[in-house]
Structure 1
């Protein structure tokens, strides 16, 4: 569960019946969830012996990486092994989720450590504008133009930022040097 404000993941409801551990019913939510704080395993009817609904956010549907908050089952007294069998997840994943909840009080991804980015959104727009205007601009030239706006970054940082926006540096194709004689011959041939 990465970003609260701007993730584009699919929302699904999974129904797990304890009496049929291998049977899981999947439904797509009709409207997106507004908050991640209520994304918990909730008993739907009949307590622990009844039907359970699990709200799961799929980060990447192609790789099917599920992140489930299975705390209510854990709080009901079941162990890691029973939870992992019921949900079809590895035991280590279940343990990691429960440990994270106990330590931090949440299962959302925590903010990463590291230095914040130096390139502001405005500087990034300026970079993209300059490159789309003149595709032959080098990263060193872009570095100099950013220095005029008092943003000091390495040229490799500029290349990485442009790459994230789909602008990759390429070496132009080598074309044959055409002399005047060759130009006339090619035109007469055409």
Structure 2
């Protein structure tokens, strides 16, 4: 029926279809409307929005990257910015306003508070993933508690990875997209290089 048709057919065939192309608008207004759509989608999302999702709200020939550059240019001097994080873009407040936000309200402080051990385990997983508890024990010289791993999982910073090629095939741990967003990384390639020797020489 109608539902099946909607699933199968791309936008453009139905009666009340979403108008991506905006062919009735002059080019400048069309570009403005596309910028507005991208901003609206990003404001409505709590996590980064990928290029393919943003491309669904603008015309086929429109460059998502150029639209984003224009939005970024308009945000110069504002207390928030449009940043490329993880696998997409998202709005976030500029770092110089962090103290002002904290002074007004403790927003998200608890969610991002880490013990030294939690931070150490999170770094070990980030650099050595996929890694199981035995691998973490090798690094720290002691068992890493299931409770600590559960807390990192609860904060959505780690998830289960592939089974380890050891006897019993234990679960491994990997970092998540939330980890990338939290630490302002586009991908794991942006992790700082591990210093194996001191800079001073």
Class of the TM-score when normalised by the shorter of the 2 chains: under 0.3
Task: State the structure with more CA Rg.
Answer: 1
Greater helix percent: which structure?
Answer: 2
Greater strand percent: which structure?
Answer: 1
Q: What TM-score do you get using the length of structure 1 for normalisation?
A: 0.24
Q: What TM-score do you get using the length of structure 2 for normalisation?
A: 0.23
